[in-house]
Amino acid sequence: MFSRAVASAFRPVSRPTFLRPVRSAIQFPSGPSIPSVLHARLLSNETRTAIDKAVSSAPVVLFMKGTPETPQCGFSRATIQILGLQGVDPKKFVAFNVLEDAELRSGVKEYSEWPTIPQLYLEKEFIGGCDILMSMHQNGELAKLLETKGVLVAADE
Amino acid sequence: MADTSGITADSLKNKLTEALQAQHVEVEDLSGGCGQAFQAVIVSPQFESKTMLARHRLVNSALKAEIAAIHAWTPKCYTPEQWQALQQ
């Protein structure tokens, strides 16, 4: 129901090719097997390092369910649409699909101390999830922030 | 119904009211029965002079186990003044 509400509130992204495919160059280590009870609470150094690398891989980094072209969750879809409407430069954006990697999916929640996906990072700083982005989008804070960080497509392009 | 999360709007409301000294809490179950999706309006003086990120973090820490068990959690956090202004 969420995605439908968003779809009616905002028109679809006008540039369907806006975001490039999820980059999968970074391999998340599978690591030794850990009892499932502990699994969610332990963020191994390898995973932390891999997420550090992921977060630094572009000025704008999104951890999401699915890909920008095919989001697998209404919240991830809404977030992609917001970034598209804001005019984030695809060259400065990378998305990571947490559904492809269980270690990333649980690890990033602990890394960010944030319990849900999607999660947006801007210059390695955690900005928030879908709700926060939605209200920042609506109150103009997001436009200001993205402008300041210089991650929008130049107006004359 | 065997796959329900065991979480109800009431249980979330009670916990938020207690943990955040919330003056007003509305929790709505959007899941259609499975207990996987909730949205909430939370009004608490503890949100004063906190950014939205900090407010959400406060809520998330109060509901750590619950949020881990559900799919969709959409809180809206207001200070008493903000909430009062919204009611007018």
Task: Report pLDDT for A156.
Answer: 63
Minimum-distance CB partner of B73 among A116, A127, A136: A116
Cα–Cα separations (whole angstroms), residue A74 to A3, A10, A90, B65: 5, 14, 21, 22
Residue A152 is given by DSSP the state B
Superfamily of domain covering A45-149: Glutaredoxin (3.40.30.10)
Please write the tens of the pLDDT for every residue from B35-55.
899 999 999 999 999 999 999
Sorting pLDDT into bands at 50, 70 and 90, what band is A149?
A: very high
Lowest-pLDDT choice from B5-9, B47-51, B65-69, B83-87: B5-9
Class of domain B9-87: alpha beta
Please write the tens of the pLDDT for every residue from A42-87.
688 899 999 999 999 999 999 999 999 999 999 999 999 999 999 9
Residue B62 and residue B15 in contact, taking contact as beta carbons nearer than 8 Å: yes
User: Cβ A40–B68 below 8 Å, yes or no?
Assistant: yes
pTM: 0.78
Is the confidence at residue B83, as pLDDT, over 50? yes
Would you tell me the crossing angle of helices B9-19 and B52-62 to the nearest 10 degrees?
110
Task: Report pLDDT for A155.
Answer: 72
Among A91, A96, A60, which residue's Cα sits nearest to residue A76? A96
A37 CB-near residues (< 8 Å, 6+ apart): none
Per-domain residue ranges for chain B? Answer: 9-87
Is the confidence at residue B4, as pLDDT, over 90? no
Name the A residues in 81-140 with CB < 8 Å from any B CB.
113-116, 126-132, 135-136
Per-domain residue ranges for chain A? Answer: 45-149
